[in-house]
Amino acid sequence: MSGGDFERIIDALSKADRVAVLTGAGVSAESGIPTFRGAGGLWEGHAIEDVATPEAFARDPSLVWDFYSARRQAALASSPNAAHRALAEMETRFLEFHLATQNVDGLHGRAGSRRVAELHGSLERVRCAGCGSARDWTDDLAFGRPRCGCGGLFRPAIVWFGEALPAEVWREAERAARTADVYLVVGTSGEVYPAAGLAIAAAREGAAVFEINPEATSLARFFSGALREPAARALPRLFTVLASRLPETDARSSDKE
C-alpha cells in the first residue's frame, strides 16, 4: 500500500458522480465470517461439488441444507463491521451509487445499505426447487428436507456453480460497472466469473478501478491502484476524508435548486 494511492482514490471519488462497488467475502472477514479460498477458508473444509452445485442438492439435499444452515447461523450471529457501515454511508454521497456483492450473508443490508445487488443470492431466502416460489428463510424451516406446498423441496436461494446469476440483478450490476467513474473492488479474490468480469468491464470502459484487499489479486493488473489493508480499516479511513468533502446527495441536489 502507498499513501499515494490513498490520495488518488480520494481524489477520484471526490470528482465522481457515478461510483460502483463489488464486494466479496473479505468485506465480512472482520465480522468473523470465513472467506472461501486460502488457509481456513470454507472451500478448504468442503468440496464445492459436494455442497454448492445443483447436482450436489439432487444427490444429498440434507448435506447441502446442513452446510447452508450452518452458514446462515454464522451470519445471523455476526454483525456488520466498519467496512459495511462505511459503504452504507457512501451510498448517500454520490449522484449514483451501486453496490454489488457476491456475499450471501445479508450484512450490507443490516449495515444500512438501501440497495444491494446480491449476485450470488442470499441466506435470507429459500426457493422451491420444483415450482420456483420463493419465501424468507425462517427458523421454522427445520434442518433436513423442508418442502414447499407443491411437494417440491425447498433449497437455499443461493446461486450455485453452474447456475445463472439473477438476470435483472446482473444487468443492473453490469450497467453500473460500465458507466462508473470510480469502481471499488473490495475483499474479493476475483476468481469467480462472471462477477469478477464486472471489475474488468469497468476498467475497460474507463473507470478508475481500485482494489481494497490486503493481498494483490490476479485482477490487480487491470486496476489504477490499491489499498493493501483490511476493508474495515481502509473504507472508514476513506469515508472520513470523503465525508468532509462531499455533502449528502440530498444536500447536493438542493444546492442546485
Distances (CA, A) of 141 to 50, 51, 122: 22, 18, 15
Which position has the grid cell 500500500? Answer: 1
Separation between Cα atoms, residue 20 and residue 35, nearest integer Å? 22
Q: Which of 6, 16, 36, 82 binds ligand OAD (CB under 6 A)?
A: 36
Question: Which parts of the chain are beta strand (E)?
Answer: 18-23, 96-101, 117-118, 121-128, 134-136, 154-158, 182-186, 208-212, 225-227
Options 53-61, 70-78, 91-99, 186-194: segment touching ligand OAD (CB under 6 A): 186-194
Strands, sheet with 182-186, edge to edge from the N-terminal-most edge strand:
117-118, 96-101, 18-23, 182-186, 208-212, 225-227
Give the nearest distance from C-beta 182 to ligand OAD in angstroms: 18
Per CB under 6 A, 24 contacts ligand OAD = yes
- Closer residue to ligand OAD (CB): 110 or 246: 110
- Closer residue to ligand OAD (CB): 146 or 214: 214
Q: Which of 30, 91, 124, 181 binds ligand OAD (CB under 6 A)?
A: 30
Q: How far is CA 230 from the centre of its chain?
A: 15
Q: Is 108 a catalytic residue?
A: no
Per CB under 6 A, 31 contacts ligand OAD = no
- Closer residue to ligand OAD (CB): 196 or 246: 196
Per CB under 6 A, 55 contacts ligand OAD = no
Separation between Cα atoms, residue 213 and residue 186, nearest integer Å? 6
Catalytic residues: 120
List contacts with ligand OAD (CB under 6 A).
Answer: 24-26, 29-30, 35-37, 41, 52, 102, 120, 159, 187-189, 191-192, 213-215, 217, 230-231
